[in-house]
Structure 1
């Protein structure tokens, strides 16, 4: 495929550019547009990217809302210990027709009555069932908080990967562009030497083939960079500016065993399952209490009036009621056995999660050490490849090396530099992955300049189940409005 472009030099003449030569130019234009808004902006650091990800993440917003829902479950259960007051009202039209005895005819009567009443119920004692349900809800809240911390780690690690991949692919593009320039110079030199008979047409063809390959590699690198930019925007919330190299690796413990101990003790995945186990054990006690009676205080107050008549009455009652199950077809026993099975399942999950966390720590350290070793080796490889390329190029000028030798040496240098760039990015990603595996990749642990989300703030407002008219309820309304939920 070719593109015909009108030549400004000659009227009516056309230049024919192969699409494979035009494609890198198109990618370069797209990249220029993508980076244009940030060219005049301040350079972005890795900390800036992490702050942007923390503030931008919809996934964090989603799980914060789920945590607030879990907080409300505590409030809803607490409400069961308070008086339950309901009102009711109705208007009833009643009529009757009674045959007259003796004699023909009927006696008709009709009345319209209005009724209004209030009923109240207060739980006095249920063998601890409701307090146990409150404890279950609280354990669920604590487990949900750990889930939120785990999500926070995922969001921040994604930002690290996005940042380093944009930086990696940006350097790849610059490397490929340099490669195209060097091979273009080699091609011009080969053509000049061909004109004077120093090399054959084969040398020129080899240089041309290598240039086409270099341009293809540049186009692929530019495409990868565009994809990395899109991932950065999704993870951080804005286009990348000029990304700076992170100053140093995060501090991590050198001992793998120490890291595993820390992870098993503090990793959010482990802590979440621990709270799930506690909730499951309490649920067994709730099922036991469900088999026992409930004692409640009940009261009612009502009025009855005949509309259009003279009948009017008031009535009321109060008393203590005890009620409990006698036989429910085995449903209560099944509920208890189910609670025990869930408890056993959660215990098994805790065992699995603890081992998985240990394994993830070991894997993360292995990947980090391998990446560091590759980075060290790639530095040595680049130095050696650079010396070799310079030597081959000088020898070619003296006729001791062919054009293909120069192209091969240049390709080896290109590969070495690409490996070096990739290894440097992998080291940073691996280091932050170690922190994530230990449960220490949070905004608080990284000391990010953000207003961190306090998971206990909303809970403290709703844990006593405040009514809207109370002081605490009005404060809760303001919080919800600030969150944009009302």
Structure 2
């Protein structure tokens, strides 16, 4: 008597994928845009970069302070006691004095010309602010790209886990069927062992997939700031991408923040050369001093006053001309010029790095696009092949090993398909980032924009004040 076990293997994979999609569509589902908005607002690395940009802003008021006067006050108090004994014609005479003094002084120094160092110092600080803002933009891009990658890794890991579990369910059915056939004399112990070995390997793969999912979820929390909730598979952002790689490269040359930051850094180095050369030029300052002194004599004998008060004021124009200071200033100028040359070379480095990253991301995008087409065809063919092998096994034309091999091919095809789909999405975001277009505005994120200009405007012209604009 032939024991025939009827089942449809494609139902296991369909049920697994359907379950994952259903889990992704719950009411509390989080879209990729929502995850990016959360990361944009809460990511600690991004917030640290923003704090760094605010710190760089303070270089501008520091440079502007060179135009302003400096005022210093000084107060001193002293007490002097003198006891003198002298001999005149065999007679000793003693003199005792006790004098107290209080002195105060205020000095004002107003720079009038410092060899151009103040002007160039302000320009250097402003250029450094621009470079810092571009570096912040690059950090924002990196954070948003990391979010997209973490988001898709969670989805991919979940899909892989469900596929692995569906494979276990299928192989459990194969083990049961092999045992049934063996018990009625229609199968062999080898068939049972082969099915059991495949089941053991599949069970191990489930454990590995579970670990991968936990890792992906932990990385998601690290980037986004909270646990993933019912993530939905997003599509690629092809609307931000040009049709050709050459167009993408042209756009990156003007839009990518790394290149723009390198250009501003070169400007900063250029102004630094001017500052160091200014040390060789004369400086001219206006200096005013007001001082007051009060002196009291506790042992006045009529020839000296008991108390005296002095008030004195002076104004002086001081011209300083550097002649020779040991040669250090010349070495500093040469050093600044070498740093300028280095900064200019860094522009080329940034351009080449962006070109390489863009070419790599573009290749990954095209590769993923082709892999999806190939994987879909492979899944269709593998599913039909498995169903055919199972039917042939029922009539004794195929062995258990044939079924196991066909199932393994289908699982591999499905894994390749979901992997290519995830890679296609991430690669599209990678291309946008490599072009310098991955930002809040273009993505349409529903989160308040962080504008570094606000802090800059708040502190630029501050003369006094210890508190930061946010009250710290």
Normalising by structure 1, we get a TM-score of 0.87
2-structure distance, mates of 1:221, 1:461: 51
SS in 2 for 1:104: strand
Does the aligned pair in 1 maintain the 2:236–2:428 contact within 8 Å?
no
1:276 maps to 265
Aligned with residue 68 of structure 2, among 82, 85, 107: 82
1-structure distance, mates of 2:318, 2:236: 70
1:389 maps to 386
SS in 2 for 1:449: coil
1-structure distance, mates of 2:420, 2:92: 110
Aligned with residue 311 of structure 1, among 308, 314, 320: 308
Residues matched between the structures, number: 439
Does the aligned pair in 1 maintain the 2:53–2:129 contact within 8 Å?
yes
Aligned with residue 337 of structure 1, among 334, 339, 363: 334
Aligned with residue 42 of structure 2, among 48, 56, 63: 56
2-structure distance, mates of 1:185, 1:446: 47
Pairing of 1:313-462 with structure 2 (within 5 A): 313-462=310-459
2-structure distance, mates of 1:422, 1:250: 18
Does the aligned pair in 2 maintain the 1:179–1:214 contact within 8 Å?
yes
Highest relative contact order (Cα 8 Å, sep 6+), 1 or 2?
2
2:5 maps to none
2:161 maps to 173
- Deviation for aligned residue 1:74: 0.6
Unaligned 5+ segments in structure 2 are 1-22, 299-305
1:149 maps to 137
Q: Tell me the C-alpha RMSD between the 2 structures.
A: 1.7
- Deviation for aligned residue 1:264: 1.2
2-structure distance, mates of 1:291, 1:423: 63
Does the aligned pair in 1 maintain the 2:256–2:435 contact within 8 Å?
yes
1:208 maps to 196
Moved runs in structure 1, 4+ residues, more than 6 A? none
SS in 1 for 2:470: helix
1:194 aligns with 2:177: no
2:278 maps to 289
- Deviation for aligned residue 1:250: 3.5
SS in 2 for 1:480: coil
Distance 1:386 1:39, change over 3 A: closer
Does the aligned pair in 2 maintain the 1:94–1:111 contact within 8 Å?
yes
Mean Cα displacement is larger for which, 239-248 or 229-238? 239-248
2:303 maps to none
- Deviation for aligned residue 1:89: 0.8
- Deviation for aligned residue 1:306: 2.4
Pairing of 1:29-48 with structure 2 (within 5 A): 42-48=28-34
- Deviation for aligned residue 1:248: 4.4
Aligned with residue 302 of structure 1, among 288, 291, 297: 291
Does the aligned pair in 2 maintain the 1:297–1:321 contact within 8 Å?
yes
1:116 aligns with 2:113: no
2:14 maps to none
2-structure distance, mates of 1:458, 1:198: 81
SS in 1 for 2:108: strand
- Deviation for aligned residue 1:93: 1.5
Mean Cα displacement is larger for which, 87-96 or 455-464? 87-96
1-structure distance, mates of 2:119, 2:98: 51
Normalising by structure 2, we get a TM-score of 0.90
Does the aligned pair in 2 maintain the 1:293–1:324 contact within 8 Å?
yes
1-structure distance, mates of 2:236, 2:86: 106
